Structure 1
Amino acid sequence: MKMSSGKAKHLIVISYDAFSEDNWEKASTLPNLSRLIKNGVFSTKLKSVYPTLTYVVHTTMMTGVYPDKHGIIHNNPLQPFVGEEDQAWFWFRKDIRVPTVYEALKKHRMKSAAILWPVTGKASIRYNMPEIKAIGRENQALKILKNGNPFYCAGLERKYGKIRKGIEQPYLDDFTVMCGTDTILSKKPELLMIHFIDLDDAKHHYGTDSTEIDQVLLRMDGRIGKMMDAVAAAGISEETVFMVLGDHGQKNVRYKVRLNQLLKEDGLIYEENGSMHWRAYLQSTGGSAYLHVKENDDEAKQRALGILQKAAGEETLGIEKIYTGEELERFHAFPVSGCMLEAKLGYSFDDRIVGPLVTDLKKENKTYATHGYSPEKPEYNCCFVVSGNGIRKGYQLGEIHMVDIAPTIASILGVDFGPCDGKVLEDAFLNIRE
């Protein structure tokens, strides 16, 4: 691997979780993001990967390959019958099957930093505070220290830990931005990756079109401004490029559907000796679901497919499409058992085997939105901005792909990276004649 001529000495990648094209009209007029747009290139047609889940997408951002290659297929490894709050996640770098762009930088003795970036537990990142959560009787602080850079994490916790109130927003992102500005000023890493979650949380709780969303967009613009101010205070503005991007959109949900109950009725999910067992099981992503089948149990697979095909014919069960074989290959989705379900707009899937088969959230006066749908859902693209010296000014890119992010990061910093599924976004860069 060799160095090539880079565009900047420093790159700050801001993952603006759930920042999608429906937010662009408002967000793009706010002072700090609009400044980046004016001095850079942008797209509202950044196509995500299937399924559109945070950990799946962030792994693609760092590897430049689709989920069928990098192996992070969901936020969570399969854990049937375990409640959502108690599930482990794909927290660790070891679960990624391919090289990452921050490892390419390390080979050139370039410093990377990551703050609450997904799937970075025990990663070879110089300054690393991974996104990781205590479950059961684990201690949150110890878990972060054990899986990140302990001195770095302890220092930030000591300075800014009082700001945080668990994972409650806006306090979590307020803590994150303080860690980010401190890192810029004290470490000046060549690559900083920082993950903000406020918008994603608000959409899940209040829906995609609530007044709360406008408040989050204002807060997020303020956080972007703090990062820009830190770069100026560090004296590295001329050498720094900013990249701001969303990982997925969200869609409002009225009906939650628990299709595992149909598998249970057929005996494919069953109780034995006081515990639950399965031969076929649907692992929901929200907007889609993987069918898992026990190894070499072809009879269970055929029975499950028959049940799901029948269910797809029932309007109220919310199945838009059953994807198999070549269709999954087209999406570059991880094949699992070779079957995925896509939910209709207004519907989402739920793993649980208790409660009604279909819940009407409107009747319960609940608002909810989620993601995990196909990246081809309408008005579901992500937003992307890259800005700084060496970048074209006020230029709009067309459709781009999440696999293009890693090679573009490498190109900006002058590191060769590959092979991968994406390409460098050359249209973003100033040519000498421009």
Structure 2
Amino acid sequence: MKRLIAIVFVLPSLLLAQHTINGVFSPAKDYKVVLLYKATPTMSKYIKNAEIKNDGSFQFQLDSTLTKGIYKIVYAIPQEDYNFDVIYNGKEDIELDFNPERGVVFLKSFENKLLSSYSKSMSKVTQSIRNFYSKESPDTTALKTIFKIQRETQNSFENAAKGTIVLEFIKANKPYIPKTFVTAEVYLEGLKTHYFDSIDFNNKTLQSSNLLEEKMLNYVFGVTSKTKDEITNYKDNIDAFCMVMKSTSPEVKRILLVDLWQQMADLGKEEVANYISETYLMDIAVSLNDQKLLHKLILYKDLSMGNEAPDFSFQIVENGKTITRKLSELKGYKNYIIVFWSTTCTHCLDEIPQLYAYYKTLASGSTQIIAIALEEEESQWKALKLNYPEFIHVYGKGKWDNDIVGRYAVVSTPTYYILDTNKHIISKPEDVDALKEWFGKK
């Protein structure tokens, strides 16, 4: 009976047994809150958040209901850019230190520390290989010894990680290791050819982590060819990457390729972004019936350089009469500038006067500016537009819900488009200074 009573009291405490994730962020003043998510191949589930104290410390209490796997710690927005992975095996506490310049350092947790140790050890060996080739040493025995050390290091960490989650990452990071001496050219070609050999794109653990994304970006942006231009090189690398993950689910392909597409779009590589879209992503969006993604891809392509700007109507006064005109109907100018602005936007109130002053320096009759004001109500706009009498003023009723906003994918003000005489998009300067620079180079 005494034993039974003891079990009754001990069992609840076992069920509620907890582990913790403790950490310190520095500099502490830059952080307020940290969020914890459980990652899956296609989404991340919110678990909880914790306050970051004045000394930069935080703590997550992990109850027994949390399953082992990959967790993400988010420390800023946008969340997809400011996070890092944590391996949680359900058996140990985790302690870490984070600094944005250095990254995350794990102070406690066998699996996370083992992965860090593996990365550092393999990095040192890789550096030795680079040093050997850079010195153009004739000592072939020395290189074969380095390869032997690399092979033994890989095997040693795989053996140490048996039965753990981290083993999946150590195996996936296994590099190309020649069995004998090879020249630098052969070695580099081998690295490229065998880059994805050890990666299982259908592995749920890897799909839940940042590893596949990191490998994709490192390959696409890192593998170069002296015989190809940049655009061709990117396209060939993208084709090679998509080939090795061809058996992966469309959901996972979508996540990876949308990220790559966004990277190219952010870098202004429109031709490459549209290549990803037209060759791969649009078909994936159709197969998943993802209309939102499909619309985004089509809109981006339509607004790419060289395409005709989306048409829209506006009212102007001619000969004392108010008439409706279309952008496509405007004639007689070498260039047209479309600027989206707002009377409630402080950047706009600074840049629009600069734009007008610069416009006055351009050759008479060479350029026409169409200023589209995104407003909730028009009283302030009616007063301010009088300061710029030579602009064509368009009242963007409804602000962000205005139809023209959607056609031009406007997400912030001011936004600029420069068109040629036939209304083709020829530049999308990020601010008024970039606009001046573009005209100055003509």
Task: Give the alignment's TM-score, normalised by structure 2.
Answer: 0.26
TM-score between both structures, scaled by the size of structure 1: 0.26
Question: Which has a greater percent of helix?
Answer: 2
Greater Cα radius of gyration, structure 1 or 2:
2
